[in-house]
Structure 1
């Protein structure tokens, strides 16, 4: 798969200084994510494919030469930061996109600002990226911990839940996701009766689940993602926890459902930024994508976000005239809302938060599913003006300066 895409380790042999890359007329995009661990099916090679498809669609109307490269940050901030510096300093990369793992995203965003390059988060979660840690060179495209933490907590509170227990991924993303959901719970009169934090990539959740079960909380909230969420839900089913307590994942994505199985996952609810069956444009993109994916997977909202963000970035480069000034390119993105058939309309606020509607999803019963990826039904939407944190509440210095 992706024969046309130069993987970073190979591309390193052909590395050129940024000035040489500009002289050769080539714009370079780096997709950085987890290629080998708990997030690899949720972003991984699928996000690289999405970026490449955006480039191909862009080149139907533009003659600009664009290359896509990729690298595995291994969920380690120091490795991610090292890749970003190498890309910016010696390999002529103009924009980095995706960045699941919030600790990595925060590190790369800082480097992008230092080097005046563009950084776009699609898989990145923490709302700090458009809050206290916002940058004029960063755009947060798909979702964030505020939107999903507050939105999901509000949903279960409205269903009558009063007490909550957290099982949380022990790094920046999990901590922030737990905080955002906790803020909503506390503000609404709910009670948090316990929490446990576990390292990313934990395989055995039995001890945590038994503690959650013993707490007798109405709801066990999972502040993790990817393979960790899949494993937690599978093991909760083994313990039959769902019979007396509700298990709710704050982050629940398309690839989670086949991994768990419809029989176990049916009825679970989730918030996503996009679903492949939401429009004709989304369905067409999903079919084109799946035909080229090495596992024939359909795209989730973060992979579709990479496509949409990459396309918007390329159009902004044309508007700015060059990729050389990263801040100027982001300013161009903010000045012109994106609107294309796959993802729909997206506007970018002064804090770098891309705003758009969110979709409320429910996992289908096995009898209602027509194919492997026909797993969700859309049961509602959160409108753009209510989907994300209010602009004046994030503490972004860029907002204060305006």
Structure 2
């Protein structure tokens, strides 16, 4: 090469050098940011629980992601969703697939049968699972796991709030209409124990299949029992349809026999209407009209789904938000490191104040006893509840000293 050709060669190589440098910077940034953090929501989007989890839980979780700017540790956060259609085998299969393909955490999992199936997969894989939809006490009892958390409520808390109150205020003799699966059994067991502490007893029970179509026979049997209280140990569309059937057979707010729902959401009240649901006692961990903060958040939520959020949907928001904070604090998505931070940090958000995640996996917080307003008492759409009492966390949830979780040191 002649000396005269060197300047031209330099001019030719300079753009290539700049491009190479930019490529290196780009690759370096990618290496630094890493793969996306992936959160999967397994919810019922088309079955019996679709109104109380479904789109509402997905929306709430996405709102938590949006508040975090869609990223954590400089990495993008992706939200995956799956409709389990109230099928435990489908939920378990999807959980295994997701965990095997890099999903960092699974959340929500409405329905106890599906939840317990997914829980087994999470324990096997050593992955994070945080649930706000199911009721089963076994999640933080004999089936508890080091990377598993139960967020919004459980059967014990509901029974200890609405069950005990109904036994004290309405009557001591109970008859249950029970969903014939683990969620129904658990809540009946917990309520039976709760009402016994105030002199209540169970005199009968009728079980019905999940997503039942006709509740007439079950209601007639309950009515014939002459029980003071007909405890509705069913959920979602089954609860709505059993309330409607009971009213058709003359079990009204004015009758001697009363209905008490062990798990009734604001969506259920909206579905049956105040005239039908009025006077019923229920327990939730959240109500949209509690204070300025809950009203402001719920207004944004309503604009997206045309409904007010319930405690399970708000639990999905809270658990995703807390999970992302824990990932940031841990500097990692490692399941054990993240769960340690989730237990270490208090939970303070629009869902709850001063909540804490115990070693058994239960996130303990205050619960509320509500009564459904009459149409005359309601002043606006979704103005459905009046607060009867607040049950503090240490009274609402099972004491650790009584826990069946093998992780709890006694």
Query: TM-score, normalised on structure 2?
Result: 0.89
**Aligned residue runs from structure 1 range 279-358, under 5 A:** 279-293=291-305, 296-323=306-333, 325-358=334-367
Structure 1 residue 241: Cα displacement = 1.7
CA contact (8 A) 1:304 1:343 kept: no
Cα separation, 1, equivalents of 2:377 and 2:228: 29
Return the match for 2:272 from 257, 260, 285. 260
Partner of 1:10: none
Cα separation, 2, equivalents of 1:64 and 1:374: 41
2:66 matches 1:56? yes
Return the match for 1:100 from 94, 103, 110. 110
2:130 matches 1:84? no
CA contact (8 A) 2:70 2:77 kept: no
Cα separation, 1, equivalents of 2:170 and 2:213: 32
Cα separation, 2, equivalents of 1:60 and 1:110: 29
2:230 matches 1:220? yes
Partner of 1:34: 44
Cα separation, 1, equivalents of 2:339 and 2:323: 8
Cα separation, 2, equivalents of 1:251 and 1:351: 23
Structure 1 residue 319: Cα displacement = 1.0
Structure 1 residues 125 and 80: alpha-carbon distance in aligned structure 2, compared to 1, 3 A threshold? same
2:80 matches 1:69? yes
Structure 1 residue 263: Cα displacement = 1.0
CA contact (8 A) 2:108 2:130 kept: yes
Cα separation, 2, equivalents of 1:147 and 1:22: 44
2:212 matches 1:202? yes
Structure 1 residue 151: Cα displacement = 2.2
Structure 1 residue 167: Cα displacement = 0.4
Partner of 1:373: 382
Return the match for 1:395 from 381, 401, 404. 404
Cα separation, 2, equivalents of 1:93 and 1:45: 20
Q: Secondary structure at the match of 1:183?
A: helix
Q: Secondary structure at the match of 1:330?
A: helix
Unmatched tracts of structure 1, length 5 or more? 1-19
CA contact (8 A) 1:142 1:354 kept: yes
Question: Cα deviations across residues 226-281 of structure 1 (Å, max 9, x unaligned)?
Answer: 11111111110011123120111111111011211111111111110111111222
CA contact (8 A) 2:48 2:86 kept: no
Query: TM-score, normalised on structure 1?
Result: 0.90
Q: Secondary structure at the match of 2:407?
A: helix
Cα separation, 2, equivalents of 1:276 and 1:160: 27
Question: Cα deviations across residues 297-342 of structure 1 (Å, max 9, x unaligned)?
Answer: 111111011101100000001111111x212211110011111244
Structure 1 residue 23: Cα displacement = 7.8
CA contact (8 A) 1:282 1:343 kept: no
The more displaced of 307-316 and 152-161 is 152-161
2:110 matches 1:112? no
Structure 1 residue 225: Cα displacement = 1.0
Structure 1 residue 60: Cα displacement = 7.7
2:168 matches 1:158? yes
Cα separation, 2, equivalents of 1:218 and 1:70: 43
Unmatched tracts of structure 2, length 5 or more? 1-29
Partner of 2:24: none
Cα separation, 1, equivalents of 2:85 and 2:203: 33
Partner of 2:156: 146
CA contact (8 A) 2:70 2:76 kept: no
Cα separation, 1, equivalents of 2:33 and 2:96: 20
**Bigger radius of gyration, 1 or 2?**
2
Cα separation, 1, equivalents of 2:31 and 2:297: 31
Cα separation, 2, equivalents of 1:129 and 1:60: 29
CA contact (8 A) 1:99 1:105 kept: yes
Q: Size of the alignment, in residue pairs?
A: 378
CA contact (8 A) 1:218 1:246 kept: yes
Q: Secondary structure at the match of 2:247?
A: helix
2:396 matches 1:384? no
